[in-house]
Amino acid sequence: MVGALLLVSLFLHLVPGDPVDVMLGEQATQVDRAALRRAVGLDLPWYAQLWTFARDLATGELRTSLPPFQRKVLPALGAALPYTLLLTVAAMAVSLVLALPLGVMAAARRGTPVDAAAMGVSVAGVALPRFWLGPVLIILFALKLDWLPVSGAESWRHLVLPAFTLGIALAAFLARMTRATMLEALREDYVTVARAKGLSPRVVLWKHAFRNALLPLVTVLGLEFGALLGGAIVTEKVFAWPGMGTLLLTAIEKRDYNTVRATVLLFTFCYVGVNTLTDFAYAWVDPRVRRRS
């Protein structure tokens, strides 16, 4: 988290553009520009600005960088975070509902047309960029069929299109991962023993093989949660979803350094937190982890 904060602070001072120009325009006098810089602390070195940011964040007094209305940043983050988490969880649910049956079915029918079709669909899903898929879904389901709203977050219907936009690419990747881990599990001795005991193919597949194939999938899900957060930035902009991605892009456009730093730090915290929870989930998925710990 400290590394992410240092990097984004450094990049903010390397990208073109001056926050003072956003407020005063390029025709402002040097005296006015210098006065505004002193008023908001932009005359300080970047590391001094970073220290001021950390102090204000710790005390809860962090405000947007530019006048005239320097609003507190934390309430804005608190309002945007639930929308981003809701979108991310919904996209994760979409991906799991699509990927797990597809991957298990492909592994159970390895080498058949079903396997080829399932993997063909997954390759197509991985190849579709989110910034292209979102507008296509809008054109098809919102404009042509008039089934779903285009933008906003007033009801669950507004969540469907952005969740599918985010979830389809992840579902395609998870389907391939599920197939690979299931094929490895199906070659294990305990599966052979389960079949020799006369258990039904469904029980062997889902109770014995699938449970043991979950551990690599849990690892991937923890890592891909961060990818969903990153993908949500563009998706939220496309669908006007009022989450952290929209807040971040708006802050970048306005050169609001404090909001950019705080939003990136919160993204990083969510990513680190989910991966920590993933480590704890290992013990639930694999009893051997509990015995070792």
Nearest Cα to Cα of residue 163 among 250, 231, 244, 61: 231
pLDDT in single tens digits along all 293 residues of the chain: 888 888 888 887 777 766 776 677 667 777 777 777 777 777 778 788 888 888 888 888 888 877 666 788 889 889 998 999 899 889 989 988 988 888 888 888 888 888 888 888 888 877 777 778 888 888 888 888 888 888 888 888 888 888 888 888 888 888 888 888 888 888 888 878 878 887 787 887 787 788 777 777 777 777 777 777 776 788 888 888 888 888 888 888 888 888 888 998 888 888 888 878 877 776 666 666 655 55
Nearest Cα to Cα of residue 165 among 235, 85, 88: 235
pLDDT, tens digit (0-9, with 9 covering 90-100), for 149-193: 888 888 888 888 888 888 888 888 888 888 888 888 888 888 788
CATH of 78-243+277-286, one of 3.30.420.40, 3.40.640.10, 1.10.3720.10, 1.25.40.80: 1.10.3720.10
The residue extents of the domains of the chain are 78-243+277-286
3-state SS, residue 157 = helix
pTM: 0.81
Compute CA distances 189 → 183, 193, 194, 196, whole Å.
13, 6, 9, 10
pLDDT, tens digit (0-9, with 9 covering 90-100), for 9-48: 888 777 776 677 667 766 777 777 777 777 777 777 878 8
Nearest Cα to Cα of residue 251 among 12, 44, 56: 12
